[in-house]
Amino acid sequence: MCGICCAVSFSVEHFSRDLKEDLLCNLKRRGPDSSKQLLRSTVNYQCLFSGHVLHLRGLLTAQPVEDERGNVFLWNGEVFSGIKVEAEENDTQIMFHYLSSCKNESDILSLFSEVQGPWSFIYYQASSHSLWFGRDFFGRRSLLWHFSNLGKSFCLSSVGTQASGVADQWQEVPASGIFRIDLKSASISQSVVLKLYPWKYSSGGDDIRECVHNSLTEISADLPTLVLVAANEAKLYLKDPVVPLNMALPQAAFETHCSSISRSPLTRETLRVFLTDGHTKEVVQQFIGVLSTAVKRRVLCLPRDENLAPSKVLKTSNGKANVAVLFSGGIDSMVIAALADHHIPLDEPIDLLNVAFMTKEKTIPVNFNKKGRKQANHCEMPSEEFSKRAAATAAASPGEQLSVPDRVTGRAGLKELQAANPSRIWNFVEINVSLEELQRLRRTRISHLIQPLDTVLDDSIGCAVWFASRGAGWLVTQDGAQPYQSSAKVVLTGIGADEQLAGYSRHRVRFLAHGLEGLNKEIEMELGRISSRNLGRDDRVISDHGKEARFPFLDENVVSFLNSLPVWEKANLTLPRGIGEKLILRLAAVELGLTASALLPKRALQFGSRIAKMEKNNEKASDKCGRLQIISLENLSVEN
C-alpha cells in the first residue's frame, strides 16, 4: 500500500514545489515507511511526484522511482499473479522494469492486462510527454483527480483533502480503463484531453463501441469545461481480467429438488442435504480451492522475521499478528478467517477486529477488571478520554456486556474458530466507539476519506470500517480485558461476496419481481459499480491507518470462477434467508467445518455494529449525509 500523488501545472505562477500540508499529511498516513518527492520541469509544464510507501514485500523501495531516460513511476498495488514476482522481490521494481522496456502504447496495455491484483498507478513517459494513470478493473485501490477550473493545473492522488465546496471537490478516477494525457499538447492548447484505453468488455465490436461511448459520456459529466475525455485513436483496449457473467437460465422451471427444505427448520444438516448431490459437492470444493488460493496469496506475501520486543507482547501471544480480519462473525468473515488459518503460520496470532457503536456510555467489554487496567501501557489507547471513561465505567459495572448484533455473532464466531483450531491464538479485538469519539474523529480524520461519496450509507460504512481497521480496542481473555492495538498491516475484508452471491435484500426483491433473469442483471450491475460504490472509499479509510485492505472475494480467479457458474448454483432465493442467499458460500462453510455461522442471514454492517442508530433514525441510506456537508463548512470556517 502506498500514497501516490502527481501535481501538474501548466503555468509558473500556479506551480508549487511542495504539496499542501494537509494533502501531504494524508498521504504519509497511507505510507509511513518512506516518503520522497521528485520534480520534473520542462518549458511547457512542471510535475511534482510524491510517493509514500507502506512496506510489505521485498526490499523497501522508495517512490517515486525513475530511470536514466527520465521516466517516473508511482505504484500503489500488489502483483498477486499474472506477472512473476518472487517472494524476495519488490513488485514496484518489477513493474517499472517492464514499463521502461515497453516500446509503444500496446505494450503498456498488454502489461497491465496481465497483472492480477489490486493497483493504481501514475507513470510519466518522458519521451512522449505522456502521463499515464489508472485503477484496476474493480477499482480496489483509490485514485482521485482534481482539476482547476482555469485549466492551469491538476492533481492525481490516492487521497484528497477536505473539500470546501463543490468547485473544490475531488473526484474518483473511474475504473473504466487507463488514461493518458499529452502534457505538452495540453500546455499549448490550454485544455486537458484525457485519452481513455478502456477494458474490453465484449468480443462484439458494436457492444464495445457502445460501452466506450457510455463511459465517455459518464466521465465527461463530472469534468470542468476545459477538460475533455476521448477514446484513443488506435482503438486499443485492456484485456478484461475476468470471464463474462454466465447469464444462462435453466431449461426447466426453477423449483429445485429442495423445495421441501423451505418448510423445514433450518439446521446445519439442512445444508448437508445439498452436499449429497455429487455435482454440487464438486462445485463447492472447486470454490473452496480457488478462494483458499486467493486468501493464501494475500496472507503469505509479508515480512515475518520481525517480532515485537517482549515488553510489547501480551502474555496471551508469542508474537505479533501480521494479518487482521474485519470480523462480524457472519458467513463472509468466518470463511475468510477459517481459510486464513489454513495458511498463516500456526505460531502467529490472527486479529479479529469487531466494531460496536454505543448508544450509551458503556465502553467496557465483559469481565474488564483492575488487572486489565494495569496493563494499559502495553499499547496505544484510542484516546486519553476513552481510557478515563473506560476506567470509570469498569468500576461501576465490571460485568456489563456490549451486545450489539455483530458483537454477539462475533463472540459466537470466535468460539467456532477456537473449536476448529484450538492451537491458534485468535485475538478477538472488541472495538467500542462512543458517540463523542465518532463525531470528533469523523470531523477531524474521516470525512475527507469518505468524500467524494456523500450519502448516509457512505458515512455509516466509512466510519465503521475506519474504526474497525484502526484496531484499537480491548482484548478479552480468561484473565480479564487488556487494552490492545493491532499491529497487523494487512486487513482482510469480505467485500464482494454479497455482490456476487445475491447477499443483499435487493437481490431477493429483484428475483421475486423478475425471476432469475432479473437476478442475473442485478448481480451484473453490482459488480459493474463496485469500484465507485465501495472500493475507493474502503481503501481510503483502511489505508489511513498505514494498513492495506485485501479483498479475497474480488481475486480475479475467484470472480471468474463464480462468473462461470449459472446463478442457481450460487444462490437459491426460493429458500429462506439464512440459506438461499450466498448458498455456495454456506455450503463451503459446512465443508470447512463451521457450524452456526453457516446459517446466519445477511446483516448490514451499519445495523450489525449499530452505527445506524447513533445519531438519526429517520434517514434513508441514499440520502445525502448532512453530517459530512456540515463538516466541510465547519472546517472551512476554522481554516479561514
The model's pTM is 0.89
Do residues 278 and 230 both lie within one domain? no
pLDDT tens-digit map of 397-445: 323 457 899 999 999 999 999 999 999 999 999 999 999 999 999 999 9
Q: Which residues contact 337 (CB under 8 A, 6 or more apart)?
A: 325, 327, 350, 352, 413, 417, 492
Residue 6 included in any domain: yes
Q: Which of 531, 548, 139, 592 is nearest to 336 (CA)?
A: 592
Do residues 292 and 234 both lie within one domain? no
Measured distance CA(107)–CA(234) in Å, rounded: 13
Residue 639 included in any domain: no
pLDDT tens-digit map of 509-556: 999 999 999 999 999 999 999 999 899 999 999 999 999 999 999 999
Domain that holds residue 226: 2-239
Do residues 231 and 274 both lie within one domain? no
Burial tier of 365 (Cβ tally within 10 Å: 0-12, 13-18, 19+): buried
pLDDT in the model for residue 213: 64
**CATH number of the domain enclosing 215:** 3.60.20.10
Number of domains in the chain: 2
Residue 640 included in any domain: no
Residue 259 included in any domain: no
pLDDT in the model for residue 210: 59
pLDDT in the model for residue 305: 58
Measured distance CA(325)–CA(323) in Å, rounded: 7
Measured distance CA(194)–CA(179) in Å, rounded: 6
* CB 82 within 8 Å of CB 114: yes
pLDDT in the model for residue 367: 46
Residue 146 included in any domain: yes
Do residues 477 and 427 both lie within one domain? yes
Do residues 225 and 96 both lie within one domain? yes
**CATH number of the domain enclosing 282:** 3.40.50.620
Of the residues 200, 222, 239, the one at which a domain ends: 239
Residue 638 included in any domain: no
* CB 151 within 8 Å of CB 227: yes
Do residues 131 and 224 both lie within one domain? yes
Q: Known catalytic residues? A: 2
pLDDT in the model for residue 625: 86
Do residues 146 and 95 both lie within one domain? yes
Residue 249 included in any domain: no
Of the residues 239, 260, 284, the one at which a domain ends: 239
Do residues 320 and 235 both lie within one domain? no
* CB 1 within 8 Å of CB 76: yes
Do residues 231 and 273 both lie within one domain? no
Do residues 142 and 289 both lie within one domain? no
pLDDT below 50 — which residues of the chain? 204-205, 256-258, 307-317, 361-400, 631-640
pLDDT in the model for residue 616: 74
Residue 246 included in any domain: no
pLDDT in the model for residue 141: 97
Of the residues 224, 239, 254, the one at which a domain ends: 239
Backbone CA torsion sign across 583, 584, 585, 586: positive
Strand order in the sheet with 548-550: 480-485, 472-477, 426-433, 350-357, 323-326, 490-492, 548-550
Do residues 326 and 425 both lie within one domain? yes
Do residues 383 and 466 both lie within one domain? yes
